[in-house]
């Protein structure tokens, strides 16, 4: 039993799975607070959202592993995946990915069509556009991957009301921009792995200085997101601006750091803190 759970842990990329499902749940919570609705009124829909999004993301990640079995064996960080070790057959992994994806999509459709559409957009951009079409060919594959992750708060908000609203759309923009520095940090930390694999990650193809410049551009863009929001207290705008400035300072350090990899470690850790604080601010001040 323990060995099966270990294999699934690698197959589903547990931290990536959590990182995609959690913003979905937080999107729901923020919407519930904004509309002042009772959780009990949406308990069934919330359960469908939680299970459906988890299964859809797990399905997408499983299919990603199946599609990248040939490159995963070249990278240290992916060498323990079942697609590399052979502990689960590739045919079984393919079937698992398809079944999880279809069942997860079905559960989201039971909530409403808008939530299901956001789920499909996330799945399609990650599995097809990102993994199949762009990851091996162009450096802007990261933008596609970021789009896939950015729809997650829209899914959560969409359970309660249409996500064509400034608050969930701002969270979408933050998620998209945030993922660029976050992913670049990972690519720098695992530079040798990506170089061996041949995947077109920006640090490998365009160099570290270009990556540092791009990182800071996306962090600067985050500074402008609060300008499109209204109705929050002054304290919210002050705190989120300070947060953005603080992360920008970390980004700028990259230009002068004696060790780019140590800076990438700092950028990666701070990106996690940044996102947690952002969602906390939204949840408290909405």
Give the per-residue pLDDT at 281: 98
Q: How far apart are CA 56 and CA 62, in angstroms?
A: 10
What's the start-to-end Cα distance of the chain, in Å? 43
pLDDT tens, 187-239? 999 999 999 988 999 999 999 999 999 999 999 999 999 999 999 999 999 99
pLDDT tens, 264-284? 999 999 999 999 999 999 999
- Answer for the pair 284, 232: CB distance below 8 angstroms, yes or no: no
CATH class of 165-286: mainly alpha
For residue 212, give the nearest of 194, 193, 185 by alpha carbon. Answer: 185
Give the per-residue pLDDT at 37: 94
Residue 1 has pLDDT above 70, yes or no: no
For residue 52, give the nearest of 30, 24, 33 by alpha carbon. Answer: 24
Q: How far apart are CA 120 and CA 249, in angstroms?
A: 36
Q: For the domain 1-163, what is the CATH code?
A: 1.10.357.140
Number of H helices, E strands in the chain: 15, 0
pLDDT tens, 98-118? 999 999 999 999 999 999 999
Residue 48 has pLDDT above 90, yes or no: yes
Q: How far apart are CA 167 and CA 229, in angstroms?
A: 7
Q: How far apart are CA 236 and CA 232, in angstroms?
A: 6
Each domain of the chain, given as residue ranges in start order, spans 1-163, 165-286
Give the list of residues 6+ apart from residue 215 with CB closer than 8 angstroms, or none: 180, 181, 184, 185, 251, 254, 267
Q: How far apart are CA 50 and CA 104, in angstroms?
A: 10
pLDDT tens, 128-146? 999 999 999 999 999 999 9
């Amino acid at each position: 039993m323990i060995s099966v759970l270990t294999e699934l842990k690698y197959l589903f990329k547990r931290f990536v799975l959590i990182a995609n499902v959690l913003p979905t749940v937080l999107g729901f919570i923020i919407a519930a607070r904004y509309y002042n609705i009772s959780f009990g009124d949406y308990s069934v829909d919330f359960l469908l959202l939680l299970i459906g999004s988890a299964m859809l993301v797990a399905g997408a990640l499983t299919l990603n592993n199946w599609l990248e079995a040939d490159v995963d064996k070249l990278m240290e960080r992916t060498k323990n995946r079942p697609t590399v070790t052979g502990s689960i057959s590739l045919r079984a992994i393919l079937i698992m990915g398809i079944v999880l994806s279809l069942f997860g999509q079905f559960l989201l459709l039971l909530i409403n069509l808008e939530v299901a559409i956001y789920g499909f957009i996330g799945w399609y951009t990650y599995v097809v556009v990102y993994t199949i079409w762009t990851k091996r060919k162009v450096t802007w594959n990261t933008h596609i991957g970021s789009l896939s992750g950015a729809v997650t708060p829209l899914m959560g908000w969409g359970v309660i009301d249409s996500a064509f609203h400034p608050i969930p759309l701002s969270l979408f923009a933050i998620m998209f921009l945030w993922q660029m520095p976050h992913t670049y940090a990972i690519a720098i930390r695992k530079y040798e792995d990506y170089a061996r694999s041949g995947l077109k990650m920006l640090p490998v193809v365009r160099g570290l200085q270009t990556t540092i410049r791009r990182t800071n551009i996306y962090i600067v863009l985050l500074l402008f997101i609060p300008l499109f929001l209204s109705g929050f207290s002054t304290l919210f705008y002050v705190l989120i601006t300070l947060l953005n400035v603080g992360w920008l300072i970390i980004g700028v350090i990259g230009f002068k750091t004696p060790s780019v990899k140590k800076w990438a470690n700092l950028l990666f850790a701070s990106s996690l803190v940044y996102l947690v604080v952002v969602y906390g601010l939204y949840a408290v001040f909405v």
